[in-house]
Amino acid sequence: MEELLAQVTAKAEKWLGNSFDEKTRSEVKALMDKEDKSDLIDAFYKDLEFGTGGLRGVMGAGTNRMNIYTVGMATQGLANYLNRVFGSLKQISVVVGHDNRNNGRLFAETVADIFSANGIKVYLFDDLRPTPEVSFAIRYLKCQSGVNVTASHNPREYNGYKAYWDDGAQVLAPHDTAIIDEVSKVKVEDIRFKGNPALIEIIGESVDQAYLDAVQTVCINPALVKRNADLGIVYTPLHGCGRVIIPRSLAQWGFTNVNCVQEQMVPDGNFPTVVSPNPEYPEALTMALDLARRLNADVVMASDPDADRLGVACRNSKGDWVLLNGNQTSMIFLYYIITQYSILGKMTGKEFVVKTIVTTEVISRIAEKNNLEMFDCYTGFKWIAKVIADEMVKGKKYIGGGEESFGFLAEDFVRDKDAVSACSLMAEIAAWGKENGKTLFDILLDAYMEYGFSQESAISVVKPGKSGADEIRQMMEQFRANPPKSLAGLPVVLVKDFKLMKQTDGKGVVSALSMPEPSNVLQYFTSEGDKVSIRPSGTEPKIKFYFEAKGVMASPDSFDDSKTKALHKIELIRKDLGV
């Protein structure tokens, strides 16, 4: 401990030098003066890692914090790499945006200044904008890269930095590791903070409208929307940037009865009306559900702060409002898209869908039964974007892809999950249901009856700080070295280890896994088709467990019973794993 404290103190003392502003120096000095050194250690025990998706961390002074210096080093490294790779271009350009988080505008303007100081033209959004619009703008403006300053759905103390390449997707090989190497070389004194205003162009409405026009092309059945224009919609952006564009998108599609939660239409990085701005949590939709009950609405939708994730609530068979999980919303999207494409004669035989390996296997069954090609990829939409890019050049047609963490993409002009198009398309699906006397929940039950029932659940074990990171590593090593022989009394018939790129069946036969690269993920499958996935988060100090329990649903009326039995099975699996 004394050795670690000495190392941390030495790093912190460098932040008292003239390369740092007075506010930062004062904050570091306060950390050093505290008797309890835990905050100092957490702020300096490591450098905030520029990973394949960029940066994410708690805001504050320190090498392990989000501040203008860690953001600056990341941007200087990215600028150096862009100038090296695209040096033959007359003018390299990038898009820069931000969401509603505290320091969002400061960080975005800092990023813009650094890029411009390095001779790179910057298209800087005039105010907060959704992550998917930044992805769209990169391709629309023919840029080579882009950055959105956002920590997505993380708690209020976080901010982050998502880096994109010229295809509008988050950076992948070979550029990802090359950028990381470039960033690692940068010292604070190397950062060119003094911007060139002549290379910074403020953008806004013209890109907004181009994006909205593109999103409108996602509408499958405009006549259906027109007939059900008065669908009762309640929407909340949870204080985030969905407020800028989602109500406009719904209106442009033709929906006239959109009711926003006004208290949460106010952009605020402190998220004063929610404990966490995450639409995966029922609590986040409390105010929206209250409004829906007062208005007798048909559907409730919420987007996270950077408007790439969509949460949906609807009435169940008893008339109670329930929050759908991300697996269920992905199922509903694909069920509707495939049904409508078939009715309208749009199926050509070249369509494909994508899901992540931790997302429900019911989607595999949907694809199989409809003779669609389906691709499994790693968690994170950058992998879905890679499949889209790889397969579309072969002449195939992408019709949808989703992940369990409330992300869905229904188009190819954005290369990240998109709550704007997802929200608009989900409203169309709700209108389809209403016209046929059904709620979204009824549509979900129809999908279960046709393709089979499963129940999903997930838990995250949070382990903050250096000791937590060490504990997470030990947990993964233990699970890897000692995979379970049975779960919930059922034999484990398949173990997949994506770090070692191999799978082992119940007879001990080992074969290779075909994935783009290794990843620290483990999966166990039982004889009944249940699935457990274990992975450390790439952006947060936690290890995540994903459970999927297969079950039998004899009729729509037996949903509750099937769910209860499946959740009981998941509880038994959790006990077997000790989590």
Catalytic residue IDs: 152
User: Residues 224, 140, 353, 176: what is their CA dihedral angle, to the nearest 10 degrees?
Assistant: -150
Distance in angstroms (rounded) separating the CA atoms of residues 397 and 42: 47
Backbone angles phi, psi at 393, to 5 degrees: -70, -15
- Return the biggest CA–CA distance within the chain: 71
Q: Which of 533, 536, 528 is nearest to 569 (CA)?
A: 528
Helix axes 440-451, 362-369, angle to 10 degrees: 70
What is the DSSP secondary-structure string of 348-405? -S-EEEEEETTS-THHHHHHHHTT-EEEEE-SSHHHHHHHHHHHHTTT-EEEEEEETT
Distance in angstroms (rounded) separating the CA atoms of residues 181 and 24: 26
Tokens of 96: 């820069």
Distance in angstroms (rounded) separating the CA atoms of residues 236 and 243: 8
Distance in angstroms (rounded) separating the CA atoms of residues 332 and 318: 20
Q: Which of 312, 286, 399 is nearest to 350 (CA)?
A: 399
Give the 3-state secondary structure of residue 552.
coil
